[in-house]
C-alpha cells in the first residue's frame, strides 16, 4: 500500500498524487479482498459492491477539478470495507481503531471545503488496513477437526462414531500428499 501523506489546512496544497495514491490503494485492496472471497463466500455480495465503487474511481492530473463525489466514493468504499473487515478480521486489534476512524468519515456536498481532516482520516485508515491485511494473511489455513474412536479391530462396520467439527475455515489453498502409510490390524 502507498502511504498517504498527512496534510495541514492552509499550509499544504492538494496534489494529484494525494488522490491517485488513494485510488491505487483501493485497486490493490480489491485484489486482496478478491482472495478473501474464496475463504469467506458470505462476503461475495459486499465485495461486489466494493468493487463497483472502486471501479467508479478515477485518476486526476494537475488542473483537474476535484469533485465532492470523488471524496464521497472513498467514504462509501471505506464503509463497505469495514463491513467486510467485520466478517474476516473483527478479531484483529486494529479493527476497533479503524472502525472508529471510518465512523468519523463523512461525505461532503458540492461547494464544501475539502479539509485536511478529510484526507488525514483516509491516511490513518490505510495504515490500519495494511495491518489488518497482514493479520489475515497470518491466520492459520482452513482446518477441519475430526475425532475418530476406534476400540476394536473389526473393520469399518465396528468402528466408533466419527465426530466432525467445522472450525468455520474454508479449505486450505493447496495441500500435497507427500507420504501416506496405512496400518491395519
Residue 163 pLDDT exceeds 50: no
pLDDT digits (tens, 9 = 90+) for 36-74: 888 888 999 999 999 999 999 999 998 888 888 999 999
Residue 160 pLDDT exceeds 50: no
Cα first-last separation, the chain: 56
Confidence of residue 99 (pLDDT cuts 50, 70, 90): very high
Categorise residue 129: left if φ over 0, alpha if ψ from -120 to 50, beta otherwise: alpha
The pTM of the full predicted model, rounded to 2 decimals, is 0.71
Amino acid at each position: 500500500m502507498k502511504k498517504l501523506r498527512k496534510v495541514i489546512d492552509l499550509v499544504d496544497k492538494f496534489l494529484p498524487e494525494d488522490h491517485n495514491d488513494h485510488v491505487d490503494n483501493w485497486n490493490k485492496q480489491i485484489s486482496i479482498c478478491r482472495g478473501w472471497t474464496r475463504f469467506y463466500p458470505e462476503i461475495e455480495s459486499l465485495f461486489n459492491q466494493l468493487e463497483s465503487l472502486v471501479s467508479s474511481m478515477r485518476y486526476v492530473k494537475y488542473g483537474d477539478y476535484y469533485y465532492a463525489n470523488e471524496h464521497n466514493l472513498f467514504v462509501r468504499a471505506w464503509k463497505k470495507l469495514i463491513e467486510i473487515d467485520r466478517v474476516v478480521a473483527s478479531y484483529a486489534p486494529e479493527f476497533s481503531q479503524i472502525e472508529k476512524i471510518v465512523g468519523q468519515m463523512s461525505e461532503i456536498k458540492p461547494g464544501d471545503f475539502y479539509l485536511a481532516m478529510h484526507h488525514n482520516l483516509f491516511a490513518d485508515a490505510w495504515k490500519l488496513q495494511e495491518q489488518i491485511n497482514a493479520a489475515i494473511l497470518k491466520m492459520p489455513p482452513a482446518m477441519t477437526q475430526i475425532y475418530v474412536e476406534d476400540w476394536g479391530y473389526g473393520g469399518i462396520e465396528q468402528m466408533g462414531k466419527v465426530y466432525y467439527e467445522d472450525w468455520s475455515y474454508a479449505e486450505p489453498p493447496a495441500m500435497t500428499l507427500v507420504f501416506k502409510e496405512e496400518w491395519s490390524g
